[in-house]
């Protein structure tokens, strides 16, 4: 499954081309990358020209990579400009234009050069940078280094499922699933762990170590192996006996803290728990299923997402929201702004998910300048186009607007009043202090037309940290103004995080899970947001868009 590799190449090509001041092509490659990155299907098994955002020219590039493992144009760009573009643009505040300035003036080719120049105080003297920017660059480098080697959940999960499906076709495989932090649906993971139940591990290990796109076999034994794939991360496999399937699955799912606490409970009951089973005086009394492990220990079955030793072993468990409970998506973007698919295509894709309602929330106001968004006239034209659509799906007219530095909404109230749903978010001036940022968002909540605050902490996983907020004050203001907070399901956001989602529902708030999708495949990331809600102990009743009818209060 080469989706992730191709998406990375297209993101890099877009950055190279933008750095070289080539018009239009960067946007095309970026749109294609965004669509491909979120595809749950194997790109080799789909009709490329039917992917919204992928035209004939880019489809040819994908075919070239699938056939040869390379794209000649990309190889040429790398030779023309000997810069590790992926490393540099990963640092917050460094885009292709700045990469060009840094290379031209200081010969900076990679993150190591960038750090050296910043520490030496050389960047501050460049036009458009300054001392503050230089300090922010150093902070950005520290952040990137801290998360080096971490893979986004949304990138790892399709590959794990693809391998799970391939391996399940082997006659020797009785059961197979992924374990570890991936099964707990953590926001980022270190590697993928596959667990297999079988009495014949040999052929399974051999097949696993011969799958396409392996760059290195780290180790290979009778019942386990470890490989690295071209997508840039490791995958481990372990084969266990059927009688130990449940105990092994529980053990290798983790978390470490949960497992330690569980073993202590076993010890108190004079039992021994390990990956082979639950034992009393060396006799296995449970182990075939996870359920019987927990039941024998006198516990309810604990869903993997909340196995963090954060109260799940002491408290009554919540009735967690289910992955099928969402009835609509309240933040969707189309090619009217920076999406890859048309209004009609997004509506059709949402209908296939059996949603009852959606909201189209293309960018407008300040964001129309930076996200190819809507001015007043285009917004009203889009509203008219929505009215013309014939569908069973209820389509609400919305917009996503920026919260200005002083807390205002950058679209006039008389325009907002004509919309069904207004999403406001911070998209600029993200370095404000905790108090100022909190006041900024609270002021936006007091606008009578603002219904929801999008991606409330502004973070981008592995790239940009969350800005600091006084959440006690934010929760209080949200309750007083009847403003919803979002759990953004986009794989690079997952914002609110699970801790804040749990605190929000304890504070009496109701939340909304949205995909913030910019492609038809982005709509299918809803399960990532649901997983985040489950990790935050959210029940169906805590999430507004689990309702069959969406009524705006």
The domain spanning residue 229 has which CATH number?
3.30.460.10
Residues 135, 156, single domain; the answer is no
Residues 121, 33, single domain; the answer is yes
Residues 123, 182, single domain; the answer is no
Give me the pLDDT at residue 370, please.
59
Nearest-angstrom CA–CA distance, 119 and 124: 10
DSSP-derived 3-state class of residue 403: strand
Residue 364 lies in a domain: yes
pTM here is 0.92
Give me the pLDDT at residue 349, please.
94
CATH classification at residue 112: 1.10.150.110
Residue 321 lies in a domain: no
Last residue of a domain, one of 84, 113, 146: 146
Last residue of a domain, one of 146, 173, 200: 146
Please give the share of the chain, as a percent, with pLDDT higher than 70: 99
Residues 264, 371, single domain; the answer is no
Look up residue 459 and give its two tokens.
């973070």
Give me the pLDDT at residue 48, please.
85
CATH classification at residue 376: 3.20.20.140
Listed range (72-86, 171-185, 281-295) with the worst mean pLDDT: 72-86
- 250 contacts: CB under 8 Å, gap ≥ 6: 259, 262, 290, 293, 294
Nearest-angstrom CA–CA distance, 234 and 218: 9
Residue 315 lies in a domain: no
Split at pLDDT 50, 70, 90, the class of 37 is confident
- The stretches of 409-548 forming alpha helices (DSSP H) are 413-416, 434-445, 471-481, 498-506, 526-535
Residue 83 lies in a domain: yes
Nearest-angstrom CA–CA distance, 7 and 231: 10
| Phi, psi of 329, rounded to the nearest 5 degrees | -115, 125
Residue 322 lies in a domain: no
Task: Tell me how many degrees the CA angle 102-105-106 measures, rounded to the nearest 5.
Answer: 70
The secondary structure of 94-136 as a DSSP string is --HHHHHHHHHHH---SHHHHHHHHHTT-STTSTT--HHHHHH
Split at pLDDT 50, 70, 90, the class of 93 is confident
Residues 21, 128, single domain; the answer is yes
- 316 contacts: CB under 8 Å, gap ≥ 6: none
Residue 499 has pLDDT above 80, yes or no: yes
Helix (H) or strand (E) holding 220: strand 214-220
Tell which wins on pLDDT, 391 or 238: 238
Look up residue 91 and give its two tokens.
């640092």
Mean pLDDT of the 385-405 span: 94
Mean pLDDT is highest, among 66-80, 367-381, 474-488, for: 474-488
| Count of domains observed in the chain | 3
- Tens of pLDDT, residue by residue over 308-317, are 999 999 978 9
Nearest-angstrom CA–CA distance, 247 and 432: 48
Last residue of a domain, one of 104, 131, 146: 146
Split at pLDDT 50, 70, 90, the class of 228 is very high
Split at pLDDT 50, 70, 90, the class of 51 is confident
- Residue corresponding to tokens 């590959």: 159
| Phi, psi of 346, rounded to the nearest 5 degrees | -70, -40
Residue 390 lies in a domain: yes
Residues 269, 285, single domain; the answer is yes
If one counts every other C-beta atom within 10 angstroms of the C-beta of residue 325, the result is 16
Residue 449 lies in a domain: yes
Residue 94 has pLDDT above 80, yes or no: yes
Q: Is the dihedral of CA 59, 46, 6, 187 positive or negative?
A: positive
Residues 258, 392, single domain; the answer is no
Contact 513, 473 (CB under 8 A): no
Nearest-angstrom CA–CA distance, 216 and 234: 9
Residues 281, 347, single domain; the answer is no
Residues 155, 139, single domain; the answer is no
Q: Domain range holding 367?
A: 328-546
Q: How far is CA 351 from CA 41, 344, 355, 387, 520, in A?
A: 19, 11, 6, 16, 11
Residues 96, 168, single domain; the answer is no
Residue 314 lies in a domain: no
Residues 358, 283, single domain; the answer is no
Look up residue 365 and give its two tokens.
């106001």
DSSP letter at 170? S
Task: Tell me how many degrees the CA angle 379-543-408 measures, rounded to the nearest 5.
Answer: 40
Residues 163, 231, single domain; the answer is yes
């Amino acid at each position: 499954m080469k989706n992730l590799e191709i998406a990375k190449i297209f993101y890099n090509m877009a950055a190279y081309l933008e750095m070289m001041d080539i018009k239009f092509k960067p946007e095309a490659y970026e749109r294609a990358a965004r669509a491909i990155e979120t595809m749950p299907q194997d790109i080799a098994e789909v009709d490329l020209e039917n992917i919204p955002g992928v035209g004939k020219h880019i489809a040819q590039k994908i075919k070239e990579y699938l056939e040869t493992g390379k794209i000649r144009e990309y190889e040429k760009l790398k030779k023309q400009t000997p810069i590790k573009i992926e490393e540099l643009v990963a640092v917050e505040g460094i885009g292709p234009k700045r990469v060009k300035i840094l290379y031209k003036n200081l010969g900076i080719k990679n993150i190591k050069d960038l750090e050296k120049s910043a520490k030496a105080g050389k960047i501050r003297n460049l036009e458009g940078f300054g001392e503050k920017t230089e300090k922010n660059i150093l902070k950005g480098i520290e952040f990137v280094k801290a998360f080096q080697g971490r893979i986004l959940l949304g990138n790892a999960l399709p590959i794990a499922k693809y391998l799970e499906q391939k391996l399940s076709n082997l006659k020797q495989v009785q059961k197979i699933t992924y374990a570890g932090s991936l099964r707990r649906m953590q926001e980022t993971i270190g590697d993928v762990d596959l667990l297999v139940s079988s009495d014949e591990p040999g052929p399974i290990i051999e097949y696993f170590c011969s799958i396409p796109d392996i760059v290195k076999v780290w180790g290979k034994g009778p019942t386990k192996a470890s490989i690295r794939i071209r997508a840039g991360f490791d995958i481990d496999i372990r084969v266990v006996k059927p009688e130990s399937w449940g105990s092994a699955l529980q053990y290798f799912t983790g978390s470490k803290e949960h497992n330690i606490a569980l073993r202590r409970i076993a010890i108190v009951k004079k039992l021994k728990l390990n990956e082979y089973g639950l034992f009393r005086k060396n006799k296995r009394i449970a182990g075939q299923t996870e359920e019987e492990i927990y039941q024998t220990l006198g516990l309810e079955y604990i869903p993997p997402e909340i196995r963090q030793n954060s109260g799940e072993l002491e408290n009554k468990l919540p009735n967690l929201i289910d992955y099928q409970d969402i009835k609509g998506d309240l933040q969707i973007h189309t090619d009217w702004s920076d999406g890859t698919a048309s209004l009609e295509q997004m509506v059709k894709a949402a209908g296939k998910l059996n949603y009852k309602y959606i909201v189209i929330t293309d960018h407008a106001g300040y964001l129309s300048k930076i996200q190819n968004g809507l001015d007043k006239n285009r917004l009203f034209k889009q509203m008219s186009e929505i009215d013309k659509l014939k569908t069973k799906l209820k389509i609400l007219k919305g917009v996503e607007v920026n919260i200005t530095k002083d807390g205002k909404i950058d679209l006039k109230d008389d325009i907002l009043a004509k919309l069904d749903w207004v999403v406001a978010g911070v998209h600029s001036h993200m370095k404000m202090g905790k108090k100022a940022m909190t006041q900024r968002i609270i002021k936006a909540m007091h606008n009578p037309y603002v219904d929801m605050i999008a991606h409330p902490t502004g973070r981008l996983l592995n790239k940009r940290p969350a800005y600091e907020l006084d959440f006690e004050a934010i929760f209080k203001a949200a309750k007083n103004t009847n403003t919803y907070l979002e759990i953004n399901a986009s794989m690079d956001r997952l914002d609110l995080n699970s801790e804040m989602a749990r605190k929000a529902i304890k504070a009496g708030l109701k939340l909304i899970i949205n995909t913030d999708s910019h492609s038809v495949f982005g709509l299918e990331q809803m399960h990532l947001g649901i997983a985040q809600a489950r990790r935050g102990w959210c029940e169906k009743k805590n999430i507004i868009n689990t309702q069959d009818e969406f009524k705006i209060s």
